[in-house]
Amino acid sequence: MKTSLLPLRAVITGIQGETEDVKTYSLSLEGSSYSAKPGQFNMVGYPGVGEAPISLSSTVSEGRFQHTIRTVGKVTKFIERFKEGDEIYLRGPYGSCWPLEDAMGKDILLVAGGVGIAPLRPVVQEILQRRDSYGKVTLIYGSRSPDNMLFMNEFDMWRKNIEIFLTVDEVPPHMKWDYDIGLVTQGLDKARLNPIVTLAFICGPEIMMHFISRGLFIRGFLPSRVYVSLERRMKCGIAQCGHCQHGSKFVCKDGPVFIYRDVSRLPDGLL
């Protein structure tokens, strides 16, 4: 069996509640040579319960990294009950990554919707580690309401080095919100983008990625400069079971990060 198929046992070293149904788990794989690139994912779970694909929500340093997980179903409800010191199992890293090497010297636009900010957070962390290697960096992030926004306490620090536009669909009465109200697509009007020198990385609901991509093409972006991260139900994570197949592509192996041009006309896509 290949090493990457063997589940690794990670210790939960910290748990941070982000929203009502999202938590960030700090994990440690001490003693392992584990490394991963922004955009890749692990199959995360527990023996006898199951596994779910979860993106890394941080960069990896000496076997330590984070996963940010929304509780939706069987596996994530099981994980939700874990406490600090508990053990969790994972296989990976799997899949493709955001093209940070190709983006060197260029501007980068990051667009996230909801939990879609999780796989883009390690992109920001890596950019901040070598800020001089990139041009202008812009983040547009939208969620349903202020209490659904993740990583709000990190944005002030990020803002020193990148431009950030935050928006929510609606603000419930008596809730404080100092930023925009409206769809994430409105952020494209505010950000001053140069399509010739910019690569766009988009992650969120597929309908959002569709409209953001369309908005970028209208503004002069080529489909070869727009990257999207796709979600499909997965079982094996290694292109063997067919659960995640999207036309001729396996989202687990060829993706999850794709060039828009390569997935826009595949059969089951909204893109």
Ligand X SMILES: Cc1cc2nc3c(=O)[nH]c(=O)nc-3n(C[C@H](O)[C@H](O)[C@H](O)COP(=O)(O)OP(=O)(O)OC[C@H]3O[C@@H](n4cnc5c(N)ncnc54)[C@H](O)[C@@H]3O)c2cc1C
CB-closest chain residue to ligand X: 73
Q: Could you tell me the smallest distance in angstroms from the CB atom of residue 260 to ligand FES? A: 20
Q: Which of the choices ligand X, ligand FES, none does residue 243 contact, using the CB cut-off of 5 to 8 A by kind? A: ligand FES
Joined tokens for residue 221: 């972006």
Answer for which of 102, 241, 261, 270 binds ligand FES (CB under 6 A) is 241
Q: Does 210 bind ligand X (CB under 6 A)?
A: no
- Taking residues 241 to 260 in sequence order and writing x for each that binds ligand X by CB under 6 A, - otherwise, the string is ---------------x----
Question: Closer CB to ligand FES, residue 89 or residue 217?
Answer: 89
Question: Closer CB to ligand FES, residue 41 or residue 158?
Answer: 41
Q: Does 244 bind ligand FES (CB under 6 A)?
A: yes
Query: What's the CA gap between 17 and 31, in Å, rounded?
Result: 27
Q: Does 266 bind ligand FES (CB under 6 A)?
A: no
Query: Which residues make up the interface to ligand X (CB under 6 A)?
Result: 41, 50, 52-55, 57, 68-70, 72-76, 115, 118, 231-232, 234, 256
